[in-house]
Structure 1
Amino acid sequence: MRNVIVTNPPRADLADVDALATFGVATVHEAMGRTGLVGPQLRPIQPLARIAGTAVTVLCWPGDNLMVHAAIEQCRPGDVLVVTTTSDCVDGMFGELFATAAQYRGVRGMVTTTGVRDVAELQQMNFPAWSAAVHAQGTVKATAGAVNVPVTLGRAVVRAGDVIVADDDGVLCVPRLQTGSVIESSAARVAKEEATRAAFREGQLGLDRYGLRPLLEELGVEYVAAEDYAE
């Protein structure tokens, strides 16, 4: 690993970022061809939060948050901190003091494969966070890492300036150069779902709207009256 802090990487346009936030994780994931999800291991510390922002990536050594301090300097309004470590760690790498400094610089929230602490204070500050654990274990500041380099966040590769979308359903990464096309496909999906929702409210079944009856027949599924069914 090269110990480096990359300054001023290109970021996705904030208008596109804000548009993606309106759709949410599940819709954007489907619109991207079911790609981009980090995985179920990162969960929000607060309910009903939904954010999108440009990634400032941080690669730390386990139990050492030195590079988070370095990353704060690189943050600007609209960013999301993305913190991971070179090997598994659930120590409380991020807490209320970091959030105070981050909020001053306009950071919208953070996601981490590690732990967070000071959860009550983070909630009171309305600073959203998604983490692999809540853990009061403290950390040191002793080992070099990297800022704004590509990192692996669960199942996703995140590059500085990519868009992070996060809500109650999890965390997702949209590559910076794909934001325009993803917005278009997400909007189309929302329109399609609204039409389906209206049909369901009128009593139409998914079996018919999605044309699934022939599939059931093809798979050999039979309709059998209860009186004719034997265990």
Structure 2
Amino acid sequence: MTDYRINPMPEPLSPELIQKLRLVQTASVGHFRQWGFMDRRIRPLLRGKRVAGVAVTVAIPGPDSTLLGHALGLLRPGDFVVVDRLGDDRYACWGGGVTASAKAAGAVGAIVDGPCTDLLEIEEADFPMWCRGLSSITAGWYNLGGTMNHPVACGNVPVLAGDVILADEEGVVILPREEANEIADSAIALQDLEKATRLETPAGETSEATQMVLEAIGQKS
């Protein structure tokens, strides 16, 4: 008997939180937080995208994408699809048709821990997509089972349905829902401080960091 395990869809994120997260660079979070970041080999297919959404998790085996097809019919605006390929790196489960369906449903982006296909169609759809590269070998509907909105592993980090996904050109970070607002506030404050510091250091003057290094090695600016 084919084993499918499907939990209810997670609660959507508030528009206020999503709007705030869109101001946050993943690299800013990386200044004060060391966990929750996906493997850096999970890379964006489109440049210049920064998106945030609620994790809808799918785990599907090898050549099969049956459950992903089912998930597409349940997606809502603001959802961010996270696909665990259960270790497979050969079959592309995500291509042009899946992209069109996900975008029509209002999904803000997707991450596949494996390859995708149909790069041109993904680019034409302007759909934010992160994956481990491209493959010409595609998955099909073989009814092999899988899980939806259960815990998964993607990019070597655990992801729970309902987690907050923040992704940009630098990478992908998973934020617990209950911590996301505080993390966003900290990251934005850090970005503002860095911007102010750059503006306050005129060309030709020594920055505070450089001054500290010079003093440590016994030199003066």
- TM-score, normalised with respect to structure 2: 0.88
1:86 paired to 2:86: yes
Secondary structure class of the residue paired with 1:188: helix
Note the aligned Cα RMSD (angstroms). 2.1
Contact persistence 1:99–1:122 (CA under 8 A):
yes
Count, aligned residues: 216
Residue type at the aligned position of 2:162: G
Contact persistence 2:85–2:113 (CA under 8 A):
yes
Secondary structure class of the residue paired with 1:23: coil
Q: Which residue of 2 aligns with 1:205?
A: 206
Q: Which residue of 2 aligns with 1:106?
A: 106
What CA distance in whole angstroms lies between the structure 1 residues aligned with 2:186 and 2:178? 14
What CA distance in whole angstroms lies between the structure 2 residues aligned with 1:65 and 1:186? 37
Residue type at the aligned position of 2:79: D
What CA distance in whole angstroms lies between the structure 2 residues aligned with 1:63 and 1:210? 57
Q: Which residue of 2 aligns with 1:127?
A: 127
What CA distance in whole angstroms lies between the structure 1 residues aligned with 2:145 and 2:202? 57
Residue-by-residue CA offset, 1:91-136 (whole Å, 9 max, x unaligned): 2110111111111110011111111111101111111111101111
Contact persistence 1:44–1:131 (CA under 8 A):
yes
Q: Which moved more, 1:48-57 or 1:194-203?
A: 194-203
1:195 paired to 2:193: no
State the identity as a percent.
26
Residue type at the aligned position of 1:44: P
Residue-by-residue CA offset, 1:45-82 (whole Å, 9 max, x unaligned): 12112211111111110121112112212311011111
Secondary structure class of the residue paired with 1:139: coil
Q: Which moved more, 1:203-212 or 1:192-201?
A: 203-212
Q: Which residue of 1 aligns with 2:181?
A: 180
Rg (Cα) greater in structure: 1
Q: Which residue of 2 aligns with 1:228?
A: none
Q: Which residue of 1 aligns with 2:169?
A: 168
What CA distance in whole angstroms lies between the structure 1 residues aligned with 2:168 and 2:46? 9
Q: Which moved more, 1:151-160 or 1:52-61?
A: 151-160
Residue type at the aligned position of 1:106: G
Contact persistence 2:51–2:166 (CA under 8 A):
yes
Secondary structure class of the residue paired with 1:15: helix
Q: Which residue of 2 aligns with 1:97?
A: 97
Secondary structure class of the residue paired with 1:115: coil
Secondary structure class of the residue paired with 1:146: strand
Give runs of aligned pairs for residues 1-231 of structure 1, distance below 5 A.
3-31=4-32, 33-142=33-142, 143-206=144-207, 208=209, 211-214=212-215, 216-217=216-217
What CA distance in whole angstroms lies between the structure 2 residues aligned with 1:97 and 1:140? 12
Check 1:90–1:50 CA distance in 2 against 1; reply closer, same or farther (3 A cut): farther
Contact persistence 2:57–2:152 (CA under 8 A):
yes
Secondary structure class of the residue paired with 1:26: helix
> How far has the Cα of 1:24 moved from its partner?
2.1
Residue type at the aligned position of 2:38: V
> How far has the Cα of 1:206 moved from its partner?
4.3
Residue type at the aligned position of 2:167: A
Unaligned stretches of 5+ in structure 2? none
Secondary structure class of the residue paired with 2:114: strand
Check 1:12–1:194 CA distance in 2 against 1; reply closer, same or farther (3 A cut): same
